[in-house]
């Protein structure tokens, strides 16, 4: 403040001294523009760096106050003196105002922190981009009533008539990460019974937006919806028989295209039991003999899929799509009992449609497919091509108001007439099942699912229909 006061005093001094000078000033000295250096607080008559303008100052003559009588006695006195006096007063006020503004600027500058030079972000090493995740599913099933004569449920050893046992259904461990901006890898194994390779693929991207890519290796086949949905996300404990046609995975190469806005919708749908991003449009080829198996007929399967997630103004997501595949499959069979199977395999093809109203909070999920595939004959002596069809409808509700987590009650009906090509001898399969269940997401790490399963299906061991009601439980813990 002392420096600012000195500035003001100096400016006033100019007004007092200039009129007293006996030497006449040149015309250019009648007006003076002053600048102040905000750093050194010195005054200058010229603009420059760090200098702010204080104002324009004009030379005036000092006026002496006179009595009213004297004013009246000199009526011929020019009014210029009064104007000059007012000009001097105005100049003084401007100096004072500028000084106050300068003071405020200095105070503000002293309070404003000087930005420090940011250190450039170091690019992560490739091994720092790798993440680990997985989950484990522990199950228990208890038959309540039904045909208890040794019938079996092929998808779950803990469930079925006359059975009650514990089971580690899945114990998955996965490594994944972006090695570069254009290469992503995924590696997953199942350690439930023995170490089995489930996924081993790389995504090669053509652009930084990751809209276009080619996936090569062993991965899920882009087909349908439920077969692409992770077992950790699925409400029902097992996949529908009609959709479990290719064991979900195979070795191949697939082109995938997903526009940026669709990528965001797939991410949102993933939190609502979605599949994730397997391409809005995908097309490719795979061996056809299942995961961890080589081709046996010098031929490949062709697959194509198109799906689109619509999003409405209220945020509701609805996904609809269609998919199909074609090829020839060489079944596994007992050559001592079955003959006449073509060496190049049997025609294997399907076309399907799917539609999902994501649970926000009410949801519906439906899928159906039709096709032809290898099937054991009625006399059990040969394997030939037969038609097939089947699907499911599932209703669900997402309730987030529960005090201890989230509840997702659901009901599912499935139907299938066909065969199971990945089972030995490709046995015929007829299914008419109902499931009533609820998934309790206690926390992001722990989930508990309870299902009342009304089975009406084929016993693949004894080739006959059976009925049974089974209560099934599953505890799933996730590690990230």
Whose tokens are 């008559």? That residue is 45
CB-side exposure of 240: number of CA atoms within 13 Å? 30
253-299 per-position pLDDT tens digit: 999 999 999 999 999 999 999 999 999 999 999 999 988 888 888 88
User: What are the Cα distances from residue 364, in Å, to 90, 174, 263, 288?
Assistant: 80, 30, 22, 31
Does 103 have pLDDT greater than 70? no
Q: For the chain, give the percent of residues with pLDDT over 90.
A: 56
pLDDT of residue 14: 47
CB-side exposure of 255: number of CA atoms within 13 Å? 6
User: What are the Cα distances from residue 49, in Å, to 16, 152, 391?
Assistant: 29, 90, 79
Confidence of residue 439 (pLDDT cuts 50, 70, 90): very high
Query: Are the C-beta atoms of 235 and 408 separated by less than 8 Å?
Result: yes
Taking the complete model, does pTM exceed 0.75, yes or no? Answer: no
φ, ψ dihedrals at 343, nearest 5°: -65, -30
Confidence of residue 350 (pLDDT cuts 50, 70, 90): very high
Instruction: State the Cα angle at 167 between 161 and 169, rounded to 5°.
Output: 105
- Residue whose C-alpha is closest to residue 458's, from 423, 409, 410: 423
Instruction: State the Cα angle at 269 between 252 and 353, rounded to 5°.
Output: 60
445-477 per-position pLDDT tens digit: 999 999 999 999 998 877 888 898 999 999 999
Lowest-pLDDT range, 97-106, 350-359, 404-413?
Answer: 97-106
Query: Are the C-beta atoms of 311 and 320 separated by less than 8 Å?
Result: no
d(CA 308, CA 24): 90
- Residue 109, classed as helix, strand or coil, is helix
């Amino acid at each position: 403040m002392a420096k600012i006061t000195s500035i003001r005093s100096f400016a006033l001094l100019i007004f007092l001294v200039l009129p007293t000078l006996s030497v006449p000033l040149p015309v250019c000295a009648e007006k003076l523009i002053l600048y102040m250096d905000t750093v050194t607080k010195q005054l200058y008559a010229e603009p420059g760096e760090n200098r702010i303008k204080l104002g324009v100052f004009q030379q005036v003559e000092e006026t002496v106050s006179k009595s009213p009588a004297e004013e009246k006695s000199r009526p011929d006195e020019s009014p210029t003196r009064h104007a000059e006096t007012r000009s001097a007063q105005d100049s003084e006020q401007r100096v004072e105002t500028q000084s106050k503004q300068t003071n405020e600027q200095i105070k503000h500058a002293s309070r404003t922190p000087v930005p420090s030079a940011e250190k450039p972000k170091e690019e992560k090493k490739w091994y720092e981009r790798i993440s680990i995740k997985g989950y484990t599913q522990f199950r228990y099933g208890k038959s309540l009533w039904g045909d208890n004569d040794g019938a079996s449920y092929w998808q779950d050893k803990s469930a079925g008539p006359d059975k009650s046992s514990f089971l580690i259904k899945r114990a998955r461990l996965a490594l994944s990460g972006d090695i570069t901006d254009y290469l992503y890898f995924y590696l997953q194994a199942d350690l439930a019974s023995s170490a089995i390779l489930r996924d081993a693929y790389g995504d090669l991207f053509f652009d930084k937006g990751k809209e276009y890519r080619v996936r090569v290796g062993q991965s899920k086949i882009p087909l349908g919806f439920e077969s692409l949905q992770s077992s950790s996300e699925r409400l029902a404990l097992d996949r529908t028989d009609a959709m479990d046609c290719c064991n979900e995975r195979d070795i191949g190469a697939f082109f995938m295209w997903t526009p940026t806005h669709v990528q965001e919708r797939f991410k949102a749908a993933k939190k609502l039991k979605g599949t994730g991003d397997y391409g809005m449009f995908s097309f490719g080829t795979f061996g056809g003999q299942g995961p961890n198996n080589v081709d046996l007929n010098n031929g490949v399967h062709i697959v194509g899929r198109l799906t689109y997630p619509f999003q409405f103004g209220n945020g509701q997501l609805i996904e609809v799509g269609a998919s199909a595949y074609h090829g020839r499959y060489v079944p596994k069979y007992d050559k001592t009992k079955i003959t006449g199977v073509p060496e190049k395999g049997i025609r294997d093809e399907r076309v399907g449609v799917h539609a999902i109203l994501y649970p926000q909070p009410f949801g519906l999920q439906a899928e159906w497919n039709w096709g032809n595939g290898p099937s054991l004959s009625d006399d059990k002596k040969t394997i030939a091509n037969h038609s097939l069809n089947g699907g499911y409808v599932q209703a669900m509700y997402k309730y987030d108001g529960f005090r201890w987590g989230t509840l997702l009650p659901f009901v599912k009906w499935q139907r299938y007439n066909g065969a199971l090509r990945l089972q030995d001898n490709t046995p015929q399969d007829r299914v008419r099942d109902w499931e009533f269940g609820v998934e309790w997401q206690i926390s992001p790490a722990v989930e508990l699912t309870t299902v009342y399963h009304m089975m009406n299906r084929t016993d693949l061991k004894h080739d006959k229909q059976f009925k049974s009601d089974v209560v099934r439980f599953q505890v799933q813990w996730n590690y990230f």
